[in-house]
Amino acid sequence: MQLHYIANASVRSASERTLPVIDPSDGQVYDSIQRGTAEDVDAAVQAARHCYEKVWSKLSAAERGRLLMRLSMKVAEHADELAAIEQRDCGKPTRQAKADAAALARYFEFYAGACDKLHGDTLPYQEGYTVLTWREPHGVTGHVIPWNYPMQIFGRSVGGALAAGNACVVKPSEDACLSLLRVAQLAAEVGFPAGAINIVTGYGHEVGDALARHPGIDHISFTGSPSVGTIIQQVAAERHCPVTLELGGKSPQIVFADADLDQVLPTVINAIVQNAGQTCSAGSRLLVERSLYEPLLDRLGAAFSRLRVGPAAMDLDVGPLIRQTQQQRVWDFLSDAQVAGIPMVAQGQVVDEAPETGYYQAPTLLRDVPVSHRLAQEEVFGPVLAAMSFQDEDHAVELANATQFGLVAGVWTRDGARQLRMARRVRSGQVFINNYGAGGGVELPFGGVKSSGYGREKGFEALLGFTTLKTVAIKHG
C-alpha cells in the first residue's frame, strides 16, 4: 500500500480509505494509494508553509541549485527503478518509460543550473531615486498533474517551482502517482528539507479541489484537460490565486509537397503513436498539400499496418491506454467516424500476447476528415491520426488554425521563406520546422494559446511564472 508523502514522511490519509492501482497492460489491481481528503491537503500545505518560511527561503539560490543537482543525479542512479514503476503504473513501453526517467533527471539538472541565474533589474527613474525589481517566489505552490507523463510533468513543474524558491504541494493523477511518491523519497534522501516537496494522492474532485481552494496555496500549476482547467481557474479566481494552465491540443502536422518524406514519415508516426497517442502535443491532425496527399497516405498507411501494440513490458511500438474509460473514449470517436463515412486507410495490430483485460487500441489512420467533424476538432487522446488535404499555403493556415486549440504545430517544407511565413501565421505556443518536439526540449518554453492554456513551463521562462515581481523605489536625494 502506498502512502501520502508529507514533510518527508509517508503518512496515511485521514479518510483511512484507499484507491486501487491498476496495471493497464492486464487491467488487474496490483497496489493501492491513499484516497486523500481536504484534511490531508491542509497538513501538506502547513508543512510546505513551515518549510518555506523557516528553511527554504533562507537557503541561497546556489544551495537550492546544489540540492536540485543532487536530486538529478539520484534520479539518474535510480532511473531503471523509476522507469519500471512508471511502466507498470501507466502502461508505458520500456523505451518510453526510460526516456521519461531520463527527462526527469534532465529537468532537475536544468533547473539546478538556473537557480542562481534568476535576477531582477535596475530601472532608470527620476534624479534622486534608485529603483530595483526583485524576482520573489510565490511561497507555496500547488501542482496538479495528469497521468500521461507523471515524471516529466513533475520534473518541469516542481523543478521550476523549487528552483524559483517555492515549497510545493503536489496532487498527482489518481491513475498514475507511484513514481512521484518514490521521487519525493529520493529528494528527502539527498537532503531536501521536510515540507519542500509534499504529495497527496486521491481524486481530483476531492484532493485537487481542496488544493485549488486552500488559502495557503499561492500559485497553482495545472496540467490536464481543458474542462478541469476551467474548474481550477474558476475556483482559484474566488481568491485571486494565479494559475498556469497547460491544457490539451489538436496539433497539426502541415506537410508541403516539397517536404523530405523520409524525414516526415517516421516523425509523423511517432508524434501520434508515442505514449499510445496520450500526449498533449500529439500530432493528431495531418494536413497534406494536395499533390502529395495520395503518395504520402500510401506510404503512411503501409507503415501504420506494421505497427504492433501490446503489453508495456514487450516494448512494442505502442502500449495500452491508461484505463478502460479512455479506451471507450477512443472507440466512441472511431464509431462516430464510421457513422460519418470517414475512410480508414490503415490500422496497426494488437499482438496475440496482449491480455483481453488490457486496454489496447490499434493505431488508426483516417483520411478526408471534414474540418468540422469532432475528429478534426477534439482531442482523442489515443493513437488516431486524422488526415486531410489542402490546396495552398492560405488553405493550410486556415485548416491549421481551425480548432479551439493552439499548443504545437509541425511544418514540413524546404522553402525557407515559407517556413518563416508559416511559423508566423500558425497560432500555437510552439512551431517546429522540419522536426517535431525537438527531442523533448527541456530548455524550450512550452505552453499554449486559446484553449490550450496560458503561461509557460520548461526552459528559463518557467521560472518567471513561478515568481512574482516586486518593485522597490528608494529615494535618496
User: Applying CB under 6 A, does 148 fall inside the site for ligand NAD?
Assistant: yes
- Pairwise CA distance, residues 171 & 224, whole Å: 12
* Cβ(248)–Cβ(408) below 8 Å: no
Q: Where are the beta strands (DSSP E) in 95-171?
A: 121-123, 129-137, 140-144, 167-171
Locate 280 and state its grid cell.
498533449
Task: Tell me how many degrees the CA angle 267-270-276 measures, rounded to the nearest 5.
Answer: 165
Closest CA to 374 of 250, 246, 226: 250
Residues 233-252 that bind ligand NAD (CB under 6 A): 246-249
User: Applying CB under 6 A, does 96 fall inside the site for ligand NAD?
Assistant: no
How many C-beta neighbours within 10 Å does residue 347 have? 20
87: DSSP letter? H
* CB 167, min distance to ligand NAD, A: 20
- The residue written with cell numbers 491498476 in the block is 22
Which residue lies nearer to ligand NAD by CB, 144 or 313? 144
User: Applying CB under 6 A, does 276 fall inside the site for ligand NAD?
Assistant: no
312: DSSP letter? G
User: Applying CB under 6 A, does 65 fall inside the site for ligand NAD?
Assistant: no
Closest CA to 184 of 279, 82, 334: 82
Which residue lies nearer to ligand NAD by CB, 214 or 367? 214
Locate 12 and state its grid cell.
496515511
User: Applying CB under 6 A, does 107 fall inside the site for ligand NAD?
Assistant: no
Of 26-34, 226-234, 383-391, 460-468: span binding ligand NAD (CB under 6 A): 226-234
Which residue among 92, 106, 138, 171 contacts ligand NAD (CB under 6 A)?
Answer: 171
Which residue among 184, 232, 385, 400 contacts ligand NAD (CB under 6 A)?
Answer: 232
SS3 396: helix
Catalytic, 238? Answer no
Of 157-165, 168-176, 393-401, 436-444: span binding ligand NAD (CB under 6 A): 168-176
* Cβ(177)–Cβ(162) below 8 Å: no
User: Applying CB under 6 A, does 455 fall inside the site for ligand NAD?
Assistant: no
Catalytic residue among 86, 109, 246, 379: 246
Of 60-68, 189-197, 222-230, 264-272: span binding ligand NAD (CB under 6 A): 222-230
User: Applying CB under 6 A, does 330 fall inside the site for ligand NAD?
Assistant: no
Of 187-195, 220-228, 294-302, 330-338: span binding ligand NAD (CB under 6 A): 220-228
User: Applying CB under 6 A, does 212 fall inside the site for ligand NAD?
Assistant: yes
Distances (CA, A) of 423 to 152, 232, 280, 434: 26, 31, 20, 12
Q: Virtual CA dihedral for 270, 273, 277, 279, nearest 10 degrees?
A: -30
User: Applying CB under 6 A, does 44 fall inside the site for ligand NAD?
Assistant: no
> What one-letter code names the amino acid at 318?
V
Which residue lies nearer to ligand NAD by CB, 99 or 297? 99
Residues 387-446 that bind ligand NAD (CB under 6 A): 407
User: Applying CB under 6 A, does 280 fall inside the site for ligand NAD?
Assistant: yes
Residue 169 CB burial class (10 angstroms; 0-12, 13-18, ≥19): buried
- Pairwise CA distance, residues 261 & 60, whole Å: 51
Which residue lies nearer to ligand NAD by CB, 165 or 224? 224
> What one-letter code names the amino acid at 331?
W
User: Applying CB under 6 A, does 384 fall inside the site for ligand NAD?
Assistant: no
Q: How many residues bind ligand NAD (CB under 6 A)?
A: 29
SS3 259: coil
Locate 401 and state its grid cell.
488554425
Of 8-16, 45-53, 185-193, 201-209: span binding ligand NAD (CB under 6 A): 201-209
Give buried/exposed letters for 240-260 (b at 16+ CB in 10 A, else e).
Answer: ebebbbbbbbbbbbbbbeebe
Which residue lies nearer to ligand NAD by CB, 70 or 214? 214
Which residue among 83, 228, 269, 362 contacts ligand NAD (CB under 6 A)?
Answer: 228
* CB 361, min distance to ligand NAD, A: 16
204: DSSP letter? I
Residues 363-382 that bind ligand NAD (CB under 6 A): 379, 381
50: DSSP letter? H
- The residue written with cell numbers 501542482 in the block is 143
Which residue lies nearer to ligand NAD by CB, 133 or 404? 404
User: Applying CB under 6 A, does 150 fall inside the site for ligand NAD?
Assistant: no
* CB 471, min distance to ligand NAD, A: 31
Bridging pattern class, strands 252-255 and 408-412: parallel
Which residue among 91, 224, 277, 455 contacts ligand NAD (CB under 6 A)?
Answer: 224
Contacts with ligand NAD by CB under 6 A lie at 144-148, 153, 171, 173-174, 204-205, 208-209, 212, 223-225, 228, 231-232, 246-249, 280, 379, 381, 407, 453
Catalytic residues: 246
